[in-house]
Amino acid sequence: MKLQRTQLSAIVLSVSALLGGQAIAADADATRAQVQAELAEAVRTGNVYDDVSGLKLNELYPQRYPAQAVEAEKSFAQTQAELAEAVRTGSVYADQSGLALNELYPQQYPAQPVLADSSVEKTFAQTQAELAEAIRTGNVHADVSGFKLNQLYPQRYS
């Protein structure tokens, strides 16, 4: 059975509406008026997706929408200064190992400041206890959706 493009779009929209409804229900602070205002702003600025191309409308038709505010970029001098500081402290990455130069060769770079707060360091037992508590209360992420178990299944957690 081959689905028509409109049928497939309708299915995708209904599933996204269902999931969107759950996301809105999870955010109890947002009122209906706030959500409607956010939707109206997204439509006004073109920050909604086209169901055929998968691109935002302001990406497809930039001439129809107001220009997006661009964050001020760093100057070349600021970038050069940051790079020089990173090279001086060894904070640049050496290779594909994922380690910075100051981690590979600590004797060649100035010592990194250590936090005096002893609460930052936890024992393995403390970490295990926190993990067990998070699992018990459902305060762990369920999957890539970003929802926690206690948000998806509130009836299972008190």
DSSP state string for 53-77:
T-SBHHHH-GGGSPPPPPPPPPPHH
Express each pLDDT in 2-49 by its tens digit.
Answer: 556 666 566 666 666 666 655 555 555 778 889 888 988 888 888 888
Per domain, the residue ranges of the chain are 5-64, 76-108, 124-156
Query: Does the pTM of the predicted model rise above 0.95?
Result: no
State residue 31's pLDDT score: 87
CB distance 138 to 157 below 8 Å: yes
φ, ψ of residue 57 to 5 degrees: the values are: -60, -35
Task: Give the tens place of pLDDT for each residue, 78-121.
Answer: 999 999 998 888 888 877 777 888 888 888 888 877 666 555 67
Place of tokens 């996204």: 16
Which residues on neighbouring strands pair with residue 148, listed in sequence order? 141
Rounded CA-CA distance 10/14 in Å is: 6
pLDDT band at residue 1 under the 50/70/90 scheme? very low
What pLDDT score was predicted for residue 19? 61
**DSSP assigned state of 95:** S
- And the tokens for 20? 């969107």
Torsion of CA 101, 103, 106, 110, to 10 degrees: 80
